[in-house]
Chains A and B, each alone.
Chain A
Amino acid sequence: MSKLCKDIVIVGGGSAGWITAGVIASKHKKGSSSHVNVTLIESPDIKPIGVGEGTWPTMRNTLRKMGISETEFMRECDVSFKQGAKFAQWVTGEKDDFYYHPLVLPEGFSKGDLSQYWSSNIHSQSFSKSLCFQEDICENNLAPKAITTPEYIAVANYAYHLNSSKFSAFLKKHCIEKLGITFVSDNVTGVNSDIKSHDILSVTTENSGNISGDLFVDCTGFSSLIIDKHYNVPFIDKNEILPIDRAIAVQIPYADDETNIASHTISTAQSAGWVWDIGLPNRRGVGHVYSSKYNDEATATKELIEYLKATGTTDTDNLTFRHINIRPGHREKFWVNNCVAVGLSAGFLEPLEASALVLIELSAAMISEQMPKNREAMTIIAKRFNNLFTYRWARIIDFLKLHYVLSKRRDTPFWCDVTSADNTPESLKELLTLWKFQPPWIYDFDHAEEVFPAASYQYVLYGMGFETAKPEAFSQEEVMFAEQQLTNNKKNITKLIHNLPTNRELINKVKQYGFQKV
C-alpha cells in the first residue's frame, strides 16, 4: 500500500507560504473527508522580500475561500483597488503615448469579436476606450464599486494593491487562529531524504528537532532551500528574452489626505526599463526596474528621481531607495519527488503584469484541489503540475515579451534589442504571424483556464497599434451587433462616472463602515 499523504510541511512564510497554507488548510479542514495536517515553518530571522504589491482579480476568490473578510483585509494590509494597468510611453515614448490593459473584458466579448469592427471603423479613439468602460473609471480615479456593493462583488472587475509585508502577517494570523495551521518559528538547517527513493523524510530545525511530512512545499524565496540546494533542479534563465535584472524601490508619501489614489498600476517606460507606480491608501510604492546590461545604478536612480519629480514629489533628498537583484527565469521542474516549489523559489519575472502573486495562487489552488491521496498518486500529479506550470510560465513570458516587441521605440540600445525578433520566443512569433490575419481569440491557446485570456492579448496588441488585416466588408447583422456594443459602452461610462465614488472615498468608507457580506 502506497504511503498516504496526510502531513503537509510548508517551509518558509511570506506571501507564498501563507497563501499556500491558507488555501490548503481551508479546503482540507479537520472533519472533512480529505483532511490533511498543515505545518508551516518560518524563520524568525529572514524577512520576506516584501515588494510585490499588485494582485490579480483572482485574489478576491482566493481570500473569500479562506474565509477572510474583505473589510478586515483592506483595513489591515493597506489595500487599495486596482483596475488594471496603464502603460505610458511604451509605444512611441512621446508624452501623450499611453494605453490601458483593463480588467473588464471588451463590451460584448462573450458574444463575438469587436476588434475587427473597431480597427475598420473607429480611428479617432483607442481600442480600450471604445470598448471598455474601465479606462474612463481609471482616468477619473474612481473606485470599481460602491460602499453598498457586497464584499468581493465587483461593479467593475478589480484586483488589489497592497502592502505585502502586512499581507503576510495578516494571512499568518488568519491561518493560525482560524484555520488550525501548526506554526513553527524556527530556522531549517537540513533536509533529510530517503537514500533509495530520495523522497524527503523530514527537515531539521535549529530548536524544534526534525519535522517529518509526506509533502513538502518549498516557499523559501530566492534561497530555494529544497528545490535548488537539495534537489539541484536547474534554473532556466530568461535574461535573453526579458533582460530586466535590477529593481530600485521607494515609498512616496501623498501630498495630503485629499490627493487622488490611482485605481490602476501606472507603468512608465524608461531608457532601459520601466517605472511602476502603485497607489496604496497611505503612500505610493514606486520602483524602477531596469537592465544592468544597458543602464548603471546611478543613471537608473537618476531616472527614477526624475520620474518622481515629474509626478509631484518635491523633496527627493530624504528618500530611502532599496536595491533588489532580479534573476528572470524559473526552475526546469517545480515538483520533484515529494517537494513542490511555490513563489520565488519556483522563479521570478519582472512585475510588468503582476504575475508573482497569481502564480502562487494558481500553484496553491492546484496543490490543494489535486491533493494526492498517496505517494503513488503524487508522481502523476507532480508530472501534470510540471507540465501545466511550464506551460503557464511560457505564456507569461510570451505575454510580457509582447509588451516589448510591439514597441516602436528605438531610441536606446535597450529598446533596439528588446524589440528584436532574435530573442522572441518561437511560440510568440507564431502567434504574432497568426494575428496579422485574424485577431486573438480563445482557440489560440491550449487551456480552458489560461493565465491571460484572449481579451488581454487584444488590449495589448491594439493598444500598441498592432494591425490585423481588415475584412473587406461587414454584414448588416455584424454592424448592428458592433454598434450596439459601442452604444452600451458609452451608456455604461456615463452611468458609472456619475455613480461611482472616487477610489479614496471608497477606501475611507471601507475603513469607517466596511462592506456588508450580502
Chain B
Amino acid sequence: MSNISVINNNEHHLVKVMEPKNSTAVICKSNVVVYPVEYQYLTLFQPIFFTKDTETGQFKSIVIYGFEKDENLYLQHNQLWEPIYLPLELIKQPFSYANINNQTSLCIDLDSPLVSTDEGNRIFDANGEPTEALSRAISIVNEHKNQQALLEDFVNVIVTFDLLEPCVITAENADKTPLKVNGLYIINRERLASLTDQQYTELDAKQYNKLLKNLLDSEQQLSALVAKKIKANDNVSF
C-alpha cells in the first residue's frame, strides 16, 4: 500500500531515500510502464509492448521483464540486477506529483521500501534546505509528468489510426508445459504500411514515426526473454 504525503521540510527533514535500483521490492516486476523518450534505449535490450490499464482500458506502453506476477527474469539468483536501463517509472520512486486543492504538489510515498530515516540520501539538509537528491527527484518527476502527456497523445494517435493489434506469446517450457501470455498488443505492420500520405505526414510532424520504428525493432528482443524464461523453468524442473 502507499501513504502519499506532500513534501515539506518540517515533517520530512530526517527522511532518507534509497536509490530504486538497490531495492528488490521495487525492481521485482514482470513489467513496467515506459514512456516515448525511453523507447530508443529500451529497443536495444528489451521488448516493448502495449497493454490495457485494468482500471481504464486505456493503452499504455510497457517493457516486459517476465511473464508471471512479479517475475523479473533479468534478476540473477542472488537477486542482483545491474540494469542497463532503468525506466523513469522506477527511477522516480518514491516521488510523485499530486493535485491537492487545485495545486500540483511534490509528494513522497512514506510506505515505500525506499524511504526510511537510516538508509540512503537525505532530502533536506540540516538547515531544512533541499538537497541535491531532492532537486534531482524534482527534475525526474517533471520529466515523468511531461512523458505521461506525450504517451497519452502518442497512444491517441495510434489508436485513431488503428495501429494496434493483439498478440499472444506462445512457447513451450522445457518441461513441455505451455507458456502463453495474453493481453499484449503490438504495432500492426500491415496497417502501418497502408496509412494515407496525410496520416504519415501527421506521424512525421510529431516525430512519432521514429517511436514506431523503435517499437517494431524492440520486438526482436522477445526471443531472448522467452529463452530466459524457458531456461528458468528448466532450472526449476530439475
What 0/1 pattern do residues 180 to 201 of B give for CB contact below 8 A with A? 0001010000000000000000
**Inter-chain contact B54/A518, CB cutoff 8 Å:** no
Taking the complex as formed, is B3 at the interface, i.e. its CB lies under 8 A from any CB of chain A? no
A506 to chain B, nearest CB (A): 10
| Identity of the chain B residue whose Cβ is nearest the Cβ of A514 in the assembled complex | B57
Taking the complex as formed, is B55 at the interface, i.e. its CB lies under 8 A from any CB of chain A? yes
**Inter-chain contact B164/A148, CB cutoff 8 Å:** no
| Identity of the chain A residue whose Cβ is nearest the Cβ of B165 in the assembled complex | A518
What 0/1 pattern do residues 142 to 162 of B give for CB contact below 8 A with A? 000000000000000001001
How many of A's residues come within 8 Å of B, CB to CB?
Answer: 11
| Identity of the chain B residue whose Cβ is nearest the Cβ of A510 in the assembled complex | B57
**Inter-chain contact B162/A516, CB cutoff 8 Å:** no
Q: Which residues of chain A are near B185, meaning CB under 8 Å?
A: 518
A515 to B159, CA, bound (A): 11
Taking the complex as formed, is B58 at the interface, i.e. its CB lies under 8 A from any CB of chain A? yes
A24 to B135, CA, bound (A): 64
Taking the complex as formed, is A147 at the interface, i.e. its CB lies under 8 A from any CB of chain B? yes
| Identity of the chain B residue whose Cβ is nearest the Cβ of A512 in the assembled complex | B56
Q: Which residues of chain B are near A517, meaning CB under 8 Å?
A: 159, 162
**Inter-chain contact count A-B, CB under 8 Å?**
33
What 0/1 pattern do residues 145 to 157 of A give for CB contact below 8 A with B? 0111000000000
Q: Which of B84-121 contact A (CB under 8 A)?
A: none
What 0/1 pattern do residues 474 to 518 of A give for CB contact below 8 A with B? 000000000000000000000000000000000001001111111
Interface class of chain A by DSSP: loop
Q: Which of A308-341 contact B (CB under 8 A)?
A: none
Q: Which of B35-70 contact A (CB under 8 A)?
A: 52-59
Q: Which residues of chain A are near B128, meaning CB under 8 Å?
A: none
**Inter-chain contact B165/A513, CB cutoff 8 Å:** no
A148 to B55, CA, bound (A): 8
| Identity of the chain A residue whose Cβ is nearest the Cβ of B159 in the assembled complex | A516
**Inter-chain contact A518/B164, CB cutoff 8 Å:** yes
B50 to chain A, nearest CB (A): 10
A513 to B53, CA, bound (A): 11
**Inter-chain contact A516/B56, CB cutoff 8 Å:** no
**Inter-chain contact B183/A148, CB cutoff 8 Å:** yes
A184 to B185, CA, bound (A): 45
Q: Which residues of chain A are near B57, meaning CB under 8 Å?
A: 146-148, 509, 513-516
Q: Which residues of chain A are near B54, meaning CB under 8 Å?
A: 146-148
Q: Which residues of chain A are near B162, meaning CB under 8 Å?
A: 517-518
A515 to chain B, nearest CB (A): 6
A17 to chain B, nearest CB (A): 31
B185 to chain A, nearest CB (A): 7
| Identity of the chain A residue whose Cβ is nearest the Cβ of B51 in the assembled complex | A148
A509 to B54, CA, bound (A): 11
A512 to B55, CA, bound (A): 11
Size bracket of the B interface: 10 to 19
**Inter-chain contact B55/A516, CB cutoff 8 Å:** no
A518 to B52, CA, bound (A): 10
**Inter-chain contact A509/B56, CB cutoff 8 Å:** yes
A271 to chain B, nearest CB (A): 46
Counting chain B CB atoms within 10 Å of each CB, the highest count among A147, A513, A517, A518 belongs to A518
B204 to chain A, nearest CB (A): 24
**Inter-chain contact B56/A513, CB cutoff 8 Å:** yes
A70 to B120, CA, bound (A): 51
| Identity of the chain B residue whose Cβ is nearest the Cβ of A149 in the assembled complex | B57
**Inter-chain contact B183/A518, CB cutoff 8 Å:** no
| Identity of the chain A residue whose Cβ is nearest the Cβ of B58 in the assembled complex | A513
**Inter-chain contact B55/A147, CB cutoff 8 Å:** yes
**Contact A147-B59, Cβ < 8 Å, known A517-B162, A518-B165:** no
A56 to B53, CA, bound (A): 30
B69 to chain A, nearest CB (A): 15
Q: Which residues of chain B are near A515, meaning CB under 8 Å?
A: 57
B186 to chain A, nearest CB (A): 11
Counting chain A CB atoms within 10 Å of each CB, the highest count among B55, B162, B166 belongs to B55
A121 to chain B, nearest CB (A): 34
A421 to chain B, nearest CB (A): 52
B161 to chain A, nearest CB (A): 11
What 0/1 pattern do residues 126 to 163 of A give for CB contact below 8 A with B? 00000000000000000000111000000000000000
Q: Which residues of chain B are near A513, meaning CB under 8 Å?
A: 56-58
A289 to chain B, nearest CB (A): 38
**Inter-chain contact A518/B166, CB cutoff 8 Å:** yes
A518 to B185, CA, bound (A): 9
Q: Which residues of chain B are near A514, meaning CB under 8 Å?
A: 57
A509 to B52, CA, bound (A): 14
Q: Which residues of chain B are near A148, meaning CB under 8 Å?
A: 52-54, 57, 183
A513 to B159, CA, bound (A): 13
A160 to B16, CA, bound (A): 55
Q: Which residues of chain A are near B53, meaning CB under 8 Å?
A: 148
A515 to B59, CA, bound (A): 11
A515 to B54, CA, bound (A): 12
Q: Which residues of chain A are near B164, meaning CB under 8 Å?
A: 516, 518
| Identity of the chain B residue whose Cβ is nearest the Cβ of A150 in the assembled complex | B166
| Identity of the chain B residue whose Cβ is nearest the Cβ of A71 in the assembled complex | B57
A124 to chain B, nearest CB (A): 36
Q: Which residues of chain B are near A512, meaning CB under 8 Å?
A: 56
Q: Which residues of chain A are near B166, meaning CB under 8 Å?
A: 518
Q: Which residues of chain B are near A146, meaning CB under 8 Å?
A: 54, 57
B56 to chain A, nearest CB (A): 5
B216 to chain A, nearest CB (A): 17
Counting chain A CB atoms within 10 Å of each CB, the highest count among B57, B159, B165 belongs to B57
Q: Which residues of chain A are near B165, meaning CB under 8 Å?
A: 518
What 0/1 pattern do residues 55 to 74 of A give for CB contact below 8 A with B? 00000000000000000000
A148 to B53, CA, bound (A): 7
A286 to chain B, nearest CB (A): 32
A509-B56, A518-B185 are known; give 11 further A-B pairs, CB within 8 A. A147-B56, A147-B57, A148-B52, A148-B183, A512-B56, A513-B57, A516-B58, A516-B59, A517-B159, A517-B162, A518-B164
Tell me the B residues contacting A by CB distance below 8 Å: 52-59, 159, 162, 164-166, 183, 185
Tell me the A residues contacting B by CB distance below 8 Å: 146-148, 509, 512-518
Q: Can you list 25 residue pairs at the A/B interface with Cβ under 8 Å?
A: A146-B54, A146-B57, A147-B52, A147-B54, A147-B55, A147-B56, A147-B57, A148-B53, A148-B54, A148-B183, A509-B56, A512-B56, A513-B56, A513-B57, A513-B58, A514-B57, A515-B57, A516-B52, A516-B58, A516-B159, A517-B159, A517-B162, A518-B162, A518-B164, A518-B166
